[in-house]
Structure 1
Amino acid sequence: MRTVIFDLDGTLADTSGDLIAAANHCFRHMGLGDLLDPGLDAGVALRGGRSMLTHGLTKVALFDAATVDVYYPMLLDAYSGAIDVHTVMYPGALEAVEALKTAGYGVGICTNKPEALAEMLLARMGVRDHFASLVGADTLKVRKPDPEPLREAARRAGGDPAQCLLVGDSDTDRNTARAAGVPSVLVTFGPSGEDMAALHPEALIGSFDELPETVERLIGRA
């Protein structure tokens, strides 16, 4: 079976608001106030908790790797307690997923969000059952851009890892697909959309309406 594997944060869902809220909780605990802005720092948020802590502390010239290590568990705890307050699926995401499944493709998720948090978020949003597989940052001993999580997501979705495609929104996703020897499709509607063309993926899409035709062009009919 041919499979289409999706990144989660910044690809299927805009999770930046809840991620930034969790990071700002940590910064307030440090006595620094809200260092991240939901509008300006959305792209940083979608790179994960450690990136947010690093970015915020760098803004005030207080970055220290040990501080990031200390506060990262607090960030995860705050995030898990308010994981779906601001998060929304991108327009057309689920419709595209269902169209791909109807066409015969397997569909799964490969994310660098910890698996338990990804499972929690998808369940809270009522969309977990749309996906045949979910591989998170800690599901295996390696994470993206190592190709093995992508391959495992394809296998768990019932597919051949050599005949999959990764839909993402970052250089991590582009490099993961390249390492696996499969195509990548990068979305341009997220916070870092203007930077995607420079990564030279096999395809760019500005809307999920474009995805089914793009998938068929790149990996063939299911």
Structure 2
Amino acid sequence: MTLTDDPIAGLPIAFDLDGTLVDTAPDLVRALNASVKPCGLSEVRVDDVRAMVGRGARALIERAFARQNVEAGLSEIDHCLTRFLEVYRDQIAVDSRPFANVEAVLDRLATRGARLSVCTNKPQTLAQALLDQLKMSDRFERIIGADSGIAKKPDPAHLFAAFGGTPTLGVLVGDSEPDALAARAAGAICLLFEGGYSEKPVRTLGADRLFKQYDEFETVLTEAVSARLSAKA
């Protein structure tokens, strides 16, 4: 197969970050506990954080309070958010690591001519800092975070910004409901990682395809793209 015969050549593929490309939960929970424990909350467990990530840092803090049935005012949430961002920024990649085989898959996709980007509800500066420290930034044409001046997922504008426009066909790879909703609104193929962070069962989110590990990702991607192209033919 030549590059021009490959349906992946030229295809825009946007990846979510937390829970999709990188297992960030250990560093997120450290920063979360540092911000909410002084407010009287019990320590949040890493497994609980994995079900709370996906809609940004403020939502993560609000959910920590809600899960322990503690009411918090706007000023208290703002204070926790400031502390969270300070701690997380300083310890952003202590224990965070790419999921198994992610980097090899990204490299192969690039070789096949795919156009790779990141579409995350993480603040832009933090997303960039994390990927820089993990030496992954150069693999992506663009990194679009939640504070980039564009509405965040599930708004499809966030995904179109990551694609660099409104392509005839694009793919969003994620792990949770905001990813699925953004892909659906944009008319994009949605591939969801079952090993990520989702508050709802991934199988209920209406993805085009699911995958459990990255060594099966390229097969799943090719199947989904071929199916979409056949449906349009």
Local SS of the residue matching 1:85: coil
| Cα contact 1:7–1:167 (8 A) shared by 2 | yes
Gaps of 5+ in 1: none
Q: CA deviation at 1:33?
A: 5.7
1:170 is matched with which residue? 176
134, 138, 158: which one pairs with 2:147? 138
- Partner Cα distance (2:199, 2:33) in 1: 24
Give aligned pairs, total.
217
133, 136, 149: which one pairs with 1:124? 133
| Cα contact 1:114–1:136 (8 A) shared by 2 | yes
Alignment of 1:13-92 (within 5 A): 13-30=22-39, 32=40, 34-66=42-74, 67-92=76-101
Q: CA deviation at 1:160?
A: 5.5
- Partner Cα distance (1:152, 1:198) in 2: 27
Local SS of the residue matching 2:48: coil
Q: What TM-score comes out, normalization by structure 2 length?
A: 0.86
Q: CA deviation at 1:46?
A: 4.6
In 2 relative to 1, CA 139–194 (structure 1 residues): closer, same or farther, beyond 3 Å?
closer
- Partner Cα distance (2:47, 2:160) in 1: 34
1:195 is matched with which residue? 201
Of the structure 1 ranges 42-51 and 81-90, higher mean CA displacement relative to structure 2 is found in 42-51
- Structure 1 runs (4+) deviating above 4 angstroms are none
Q: Could you tell me which amino acid in structure 1 is paired with residue 27 of structure 2?
A: D
Q: CA deviation at 1:145?
A: 0.7
Q: CA deviation at 1:15?
A: 0.6
> What is the alpha-carbon root mean square deviation over aligned residues?
2.0
In 2 relative to 1, CA 60–170 (structure 1 residues): closer, same or farther, beyond 3 Å?
closer
In 2 relative to 1, CA 84–180 (structure 1 residues): closer, same or farther, beyond 3 Å?
same
- Partner Cα distance (2:148, 2:197) in 1: 27
Gaps of 5+ in 2: 1-9
2:157 is matched with which residue? 148
Local SS of the residue matching 1:163: coil
Q: Tell me whether 1:207 sits opposite 2:213 in the alignment.
A: yes
- Partner Cα distance (1:73, 1:62) in 2: 19
Local SS of the residue matching 2:51: helix
| Cα contact 1:18–1:87 (8 A) shared by 2 | yes
- Partner Cα distance (2:70, 2:199) in 1: 29
Q: Tell me whether 1:182 sits opposite 2:188 in the alignment.
A: yes
Q: Could you tell me which amino acid in structure 2 is paired with residue 37 of structure 1?
A: R
- Partner Cα distance (1:4, 1:72) in 2: 31
Q: CA deviation at 1:154?
A: 1.1
Q: What TM-score comes out, normalization by structure 1 length?
A: 0.90
The sequence identity of aligned pairs, in percent, is: 29
Q: Could you tell me which amino acid in structure 2 is paired with residue 212 of structure 1?
A: E
